[in-house]
Amino acid sequence: MHSVIKDIVKATEKRVENIQCKEGKAIDSDLIKRDIIAAIKEKQSKGKVPVISEVKPASPRGKLMDISPVDAANIARKMEDAGAVAISVLTEPDFFNGSTHNLAEVRKNVEIPVLRKDFIINKIQMREIESDLILLIVSILGKSTADMVRQAIENGFEPLVEVHNEEELYIALDTNAKMIGINNRDLSTLDVNLDMTVKLAPIIREFDKNNGAEHIIISESGIHDVTDVKRVIDAGADGILVGTSIIKSNDIYKKTKELVEALN
């Protein structure tokens, strides 16, 4: 694992120590969850690409743009208007400049599902802020992945379980998660290669065929244009998660729409 990822995990551990929230149910137990799986299937039925478009202020490689809660809401509305199936909001503050305030403001201003993108290492983080989906990363959770998936479901979240290689994939397949994210980034080098989706997506499809299961596959990282979209969809991905290429574009609406309509 790259030293940057280790640093993020250490920072997250310190952040978890400072979280002050009550035990029990999530903050707003009356929140009506938005069904991401139904939304993805509906988008596919219309010949569109299910794009989870990300409100991403920065990456460990550098800042992309300053995003306040008001900015986050405005950006998310553009993404929704362009046809995004869901909005991903970074809440990791130290390396990605994210915040739970951004997530809260986004969810108030869009009608589509919202994913919390963070390094979730402790169930107490699930009681910080409401969202429809939550990211769980196998490379960080390891053997506790299945338990964290169970905790997420019990707390009302749809877990998106992220894998980076075949070993992690089998851990993910041994959980109750319905959604698996294939991250095309190598966590030892931080290099990106879409070959990871090409390699892993067929394994998931074969597993589902042999076990009577049905997973939603999301390809993450390194998707920049229509050619990239077609490649991962042809490999078996149901949808994509895109942050950097949309945020760095001159027109967030136009770029999101381009990816949503990549198969047209």
Query: Low-confidence residues of the chain, pLDDT below 50?
Result: 22-26
The whole-angstrom separation of Cα 135 and Cα 180 is: 10
pLDDT at 21: 54
Quick one: how far is CA 205 from the chain centroid?
20
pLDDT at 189: 85
pLDDT at 5: 86
Split into its structural domains, the chain has a count of 1
Q: Is 26 contained in some domain?
A: no
Q: Is 19 contained in some domain?
A: no
Q: Is 2 contained in some domain?
A: no
For the packed helices 145-154 and 166-173, what is the interaxial angle rounded to 10 degrees?
A: 40
Predicted TM-score (pTM) of this structure: 0.94
Q: Is 21 contained in some domain?
A: no
Q: Is 227 contained in some domain?
A: yes
Q: Is 189 contained in some domain?
A: yes
Domain that holds residue 68: 33-260
Q: Please report, for the domain that includes residue 45, its CATH number.
A: 3.20.20.70
pLDDT at 23: 47
Q: Is 28 contained in some domain?
A: no
56: nearest Cα among 258, 259, 261, 248: 248
